[in-house]
Amino acid sequence: MSRVYVAGVGLTKVDEHWKTSLEQLVTEASLKALDDAGLESVDAIYVGSMLSEILQEQGHLGAVLAEELGLSGIPAMSVEAATASGAASIYVGAREIESGRAKAVLVAGVDKMSDGMAEEVTSALMVGEKQEYTGFIGATFYSLNALIYSLYMKRYDVSQEKIALFPVLCHEHSVGVEHAQYPFKIKLETVMNSPYIAEPLRRFETTAIADGAAALILVGEEFASKLKSPKTELVIEAATDYVTPFQREDPLWFPALQLATTKALERAKISRNEVGIIEIFDATSIMAVISLESSGFASRGEAWRLLENGELSLSGSLPCNTFGGLKARGHPAGATGVYQVAELHLQLTNRAKKNQVDRAITGMAQTLGGLASTAFVTILKKVM
């Protein structure tokens, strides 16, 4: 089985790109990734998108992107796993490299939410839940998060102020980040005074309308030694769970994330304490907290301590969401998983500019579909 290397990354700024189309965004990110790797072409293309078929009514993104890149002729297709669609494209691309069938693959993630009205985007984001059950009664993604949030605070006797520190941390890290949607600091009071979106969940504990695309070039061992671009080694694992969290034994636990984390650590042959940087899936503050616990980086009900002790800061023992995470870099749904891995790659190849974390040789990205019904865990290692 061939090892998999990231040999190039491309990002667009996460923003509301009124003048730019979905196709242009994903093409821009893909061209940047090809240029970064110093490649003209690849053997296959995989595109992750959650919302394009709903908001742009544009499917068939594989052929669309291949044409935009002037690469029609090569195999290309889209991969979908709700908000984890970008990570799903990495998974499929990495497996193709491992199998030896491809030497170089382009994987991309894209979504453009500003093409929808607020209600349309809220609806579109519900496709990752069970439509005939929670969708039918108008239970939004955020309302399900809010129920979990209430249960969490009650069971562990933790106040909202402790959990709402997560968005504050993300904004601290996004300051000066060129590709971040919201590159500025916010205070805890700002989060706590922001309006409820579904109580107790507040606006600033969630993400906003975002457009963006990110791309990676994955290569096998043969190409890795030929290309001059900086490289990292990639391992990716995945797992699934029941779609509605309240059907699970414990709605305050993400077993799929636990499983994918264990599998990824095993295959990368590292232990948790060797993970030097972590990218968490903070679609909401409460998901970030439960993720840290389910993946074994904090004890049950105690993730807030990592925040309070500063361990998740850039200078802490486990720098977390080093470019602002979903909250502050932005969360363009299907693109997010690719942003997370691209950011780890920038860190481990010493190209993170002012956000550079010292000494890290290994990073982990966790990407979730829905309320952790799908979990992808990617581990990147510095190539010495």
Partner 1 sequence: MFRIKVPRFWRYREFRYRLSAWKCIHCGEIHFFKPLVCRRCRYREFSEVTLPYTGKLLAYTIVRSPPAGFEEYAPYIIGLIELEDGTRIVSQLADVDPEELKIGMKMEATFKRIREDGVDKIIAYGYKFRPAIQ
- Write out the residues near partner 1 by the rule CB under 8 A: 117-120, 122-123, 126, 131-140, 142-144, 146-148, 150-151, 154, 195-201, 242, 244, 246-247, 251
Signed CA dihedral, 256, 259, 264, 265: sign only: positive
Smallest gap from Cβ 52 to partner 1, in A, equals 16
In the complex, minimum distance from the CB of residue 119 to partner 1, in angstroms, rounded to a whole number = 4
Which CB sits closer to partner 1, 72 or 247? 247
Shortest distance in whole angstroms from residue 374 CB to partner 1: 15
Nearer to partner 1, 122 or 190 (CB): 122
Nearer to partner 1, 139 or 213 (CB): 139
Residue carrying the six token digits 């993300």: 170
Q: Residue 110 or 198: which CB sits closer to partner 1?
A: 198
Q: How far is the CB of 247 from partner 1 (least distance, A)?
A: 7
Q: Whose Cβ is closer to partner 1: residue 247's or residue 356's? A: 247
Shortest spacing between CB 22 and partner 1, in angstroms: 20
Q: Give me the least distance between CB of 150 and partner 1, in Å please.
A: 4
Which is nearer to partner 1, 242 or 383 (by Cβ)? 242
Q: At what angle do helices 165-174 and 285-294 cross, to 10 degrees?
A: 90
